[in-house]
């Protein structure tokens, strides 16, 4: 069952008469099924963040259609779009974006409060998420008392706690050391497999991407290639590295693809 469908999405920045218009996306088609973990990769400036922002209804596509759980995003009013985002989407950012005046527990409670989840259910959800993400011991701490890895696991808990239709993650391991990155990705895989969470994640890092079921590669605003995971993650990692190396090189990138 598809949860997210993007059809022929384009994005042109720069209004007529102000500077030179720039087409960042040139007709992207993407379908993500329930319980899929999809990585979006591509060189710097290829349009990854633009695509993620359009999928998250933060930016509007210039042309094309985006549906999340059959809801066409362009058909929502501004008020309904904000409400839809709160209830149907979860976001994880590179710089965590936790509220420092709230404890970990209160940060996790925020999406539940915004969606008017009852106190008893909230407590159960917080306890379950805290266990899956290994943050139970730090529930009473404030974000400034945490390591980067802990902060990002809390941010992931907050993004997923209200069981959104899709979680959109923009470079979630970008500020983490390799050990913390691995632990975050293992937690996301667990949430993906146990809770059937649907995750779309932009990353530069082939190792981070190797935890996905599928990696979509964008080049110059267009879909360039798709890779599917295989049993051994290390082999998938290698294949991603090959594709990205080929993309960054001057030679015929397609000669690497198989
Ligand atoms: N608000 C904006 N106004 C004008 N141009 C923009 C804007 N946002 C992005 N762009 C341009 O659109 C193109 C795609 O940008 P985007 O941030 O989506 O790429 P990216 O693949 O995420 O890059 P990176 O990996 O460096 O973050 C780039 O050329 C960028 O300069």
| Cα-to-centroid distance, 49 and ligand 1 (Å) | 7
Query: Taking each helix axis from N to C terminus, what angle separates 119-133 and 104-114, rounded to the nearest 10 degrees?
Result: 130
Q: What is the mean pLDDT of residues 108-118?
A: 93
Pocket test for ligand 1, best of 48, 50, 169 (most atoms within 8 A of CB): 50
Q: What pLDDT, in 10s, does the model give residues 183-230?
A: 999 999 999 999 999 999 999 999 999 999 999 999 999 999 999 999
Quick one: pLDDT band at residue 130, thresholds 50, 70, 90? very high
Distance set, CA 30 to CA 11, 67, 81 (Å): 15, 10, 21
- Whether the pLDDT of residue 75 is over 80: the answer is yes
Distance set, CA 50 to CA 163, 202, 222, 234, 251 (Å): 24, 10, 12, 29, 27
Residues listed for the chain = 258
Encoding tokens for residue 180?
């913390």
Q: Show Cβ contacts of residue 187 under 8 Å, excluding neighbours closer than 6 positions.
A: 132, 133, 134, 153, 156
| Cα-to-centroid distance, 118 and ligand 1 (Å) | 40
pTM: 0.93
Q: What is the mean pLDDT of residues 91-101?
A: 94
Q: How far apart are CA 133 and CA 39, in angstroms?
A: 20
Report the SS3 class of residue 198. coil
Q: How far apart are CA 10 and CA 47, in angstroms?
A: 10
Q: How far apart are CA 8 and CA 122, in angstroms?
A: 39
Q: What pLDDT, in 10s, does the model give residues 28-70?
A: 999 999 999 999 999 999 999 999 999 999 999 999 999 999 9
Phi, psi of 219 (to 5 degrees): -135, 130
Give the number of the atom of ligand 1 that is nearest the alpha carbon of residue 46.
21
Ligand 1, atom 31: closest residue by C-alpha? 45
Give the number of the atom of ligand 1 that is nearest the alpha carbon of residue 51.
18
Give the number of the atom of ligand 1 that is nearest the alpha carbon of residue 204.
25
Q: Please report which residue ranges of 47-89 form alpha helices under DSSP H.
A: 48-55, 78-88
Ligand 1, atom 7: closest residue by C-alpha? 13
């Amino acid at each position: 069952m598809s949860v997210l469908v993007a059809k022929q999405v384009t994005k042109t920045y720069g209004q007529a008469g102000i500077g030179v218009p720039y087409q960042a996306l040139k007709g992207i088609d993407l379908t993500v099924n329930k319980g899929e973990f999809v990585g979006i990769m591509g060189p710097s400036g290829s349009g990854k963040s633009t695509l993620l922002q359009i999928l998250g209804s933060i930016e509007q596509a210039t042309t094309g259609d985006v549906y999340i759980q059959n809801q066409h995003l362009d058909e929502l009013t501004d008020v309904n779009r904000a409400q839809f985002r709160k209830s149907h989407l979860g976001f994880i950012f590179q710089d965590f974006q936790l509220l420092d005046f709230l404890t970990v527990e209160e940060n996790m409670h925020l999406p539940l409060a915004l969606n008017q989840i009852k106190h008893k259910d909230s407590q159960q959800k917080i306890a379950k998420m805290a266990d899956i993400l290994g943050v139970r011991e730090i529930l009473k701490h404030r974000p400034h008392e945490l390591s980067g890895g802990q902060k990002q696991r809390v941010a992931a808990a907050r993004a997923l706690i209200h069981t959104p239709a899709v979680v959109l993650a923009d470079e979630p391991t970008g500020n983490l050391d390799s050990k913390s990155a691995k632990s975050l990705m293992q937690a996301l895989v667990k949430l993906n497999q146990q809770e059937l969470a649907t995750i779309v994640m932009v990353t530069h890092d082939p190792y981070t991407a190797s935890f996905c079921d599928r990696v979509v590669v964008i080049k110059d605003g267009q879909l360039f290639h798709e890779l599917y995971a295989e049993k051994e993650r290390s082999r998938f990692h290698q294949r991603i590295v090959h594709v990205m190396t080929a993309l960054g090189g001057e030679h015929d990138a397609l000669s690497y693809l198989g």
